[in-house]
Amino acid sequence: MKQYPWIRLAAVTGVIVLLTSGCSLLGTKEQSQPIDPPPTGVEPAAAPTITQPVSGKTAQNLAAITVYAKDEKGFIAPIALQVEKSVEVAKTALESMVEGSAASKNMPSGFIGILPKGTTVKGINIVKDQKLAVVDLSKAFTDYNLQDERKILEAIVWTLTGFPSVEKVQLRVEGKALKEMPQGGTPLDEPLTRAFGINLEKQDGVEYGQSTPVTLYFLGQNKDLYSYYVPVTRMIKRTDNVAQSVIEQLIVGPDQKKGLTAVMTPGSELKHIQKAGDLITVDFSDKVLGPDKKAPGNAMRAVVLSLTENAGVATKVQITVNGDAKVSTTDNQSYSKPVSRPSEVNPSKL
Interval 27-83: pLDDT, tens: 334 443 344 443 333 333 333 222 333 444 556 677 789 999 999 999 999 999 887
pLDDT of res. 348: 72
Longest dimension (CA), the chain: 59
Closest by CA to 212, choosing from 53, 19, 68, 52, is 19
**Candidate ranges 86-90, 296-300, 344-348; pick with highest mean pLDDT:** 296-300
- Residue 350: pLDDT over 70: no
CA atoms within 13 A on the CB side of 223: 5
Instruction: Please provide the size of the chain in residues.
Output: 350
Q: Are 7 and 20 in contact (CB under 8 A)?
A: yes
In the predicted model, what is the mean pLDDT of residues 226-246? 96
Q: Which residue has the higher pLDDT, 3 or 262?
A: 262
Query: What pLDDT, on a 0 to 100 scale, did the predictor assign at position 331?
Result: 93
Q: What percent of the chain clears pLDDT 70, i.e. is strictly above it?
A: 82
More confident residue, 326 or 24: 326
Q: In this predicted model, what pLDDT tens digit does every residue of 186-207 receive, in sequence order? A: 999 999 999 999 999 988 888 8
**Which one has a higher pLDDT value, 287 or 104?**
287
Mean pLDDT of 10-22: 36
Which of 72-81, 98-107, 233-242 has the least mean pLDDT? 98-107
What beta strand segments (E) does the chain contain?
62-70, 76-84, 121-127, 132-137, 168-173, 176-177, 201-202, 211-221, 227-237, 270-276, 279-284, 316-321
> Is pLDDT above 60 for 108?
yes
Distance of alpha carbon 250 from alpha carbon 263, whole angstroms: 7
Could you give phi then psi for residue 102, rounded to 5 degrees? -60, -45
Q: Which of 166, 144, 165 is nearest to 157 (CA)?
A: 166
The pLDDT of residue 203 is 85
Give the pLDDT confidence of 109-157 residue by residue, as tens digits.
999 999 999 999 999 999 999 999 999 999 999 999 999 999 999 999 9
Q: Is the pTM of this model over 0.85?
A: no
Based on DSSP, count helices (H) and strands (E) in the chain, helices before strands: 4, 12
Instruction: Name residue 216's beta-bridge partners.
Output: 232
Q: Which residues of 18-30 are buried (b: 16+ CB within 10 A; e: fewer)?
A: bbeebbbbbbbbb
> How large is the C-alpha radius of gyration of the chain?
20
Please tell me the distance from the alpha carbon of residue 4 to that of residue 218, in angstroms, as a whole number.
24
pLDDT of residue 20: 32
SS (H, E, C) 248-285: HHHHHCCCHHHCCECCCCCCCCEEEEEEECCEEEEEEC
Nearest 5°: phi and psi at 165? Answer: -90, 5
CA distance 345 to 313: 13
| pLDDT, average across residues 245-259 | 95
| Pairing state between β 201-202 and 62-70 | unpaired
pLDDT (mean) for 313-319: 92
- DSSP run (H or E) holding 306: helix 297-311
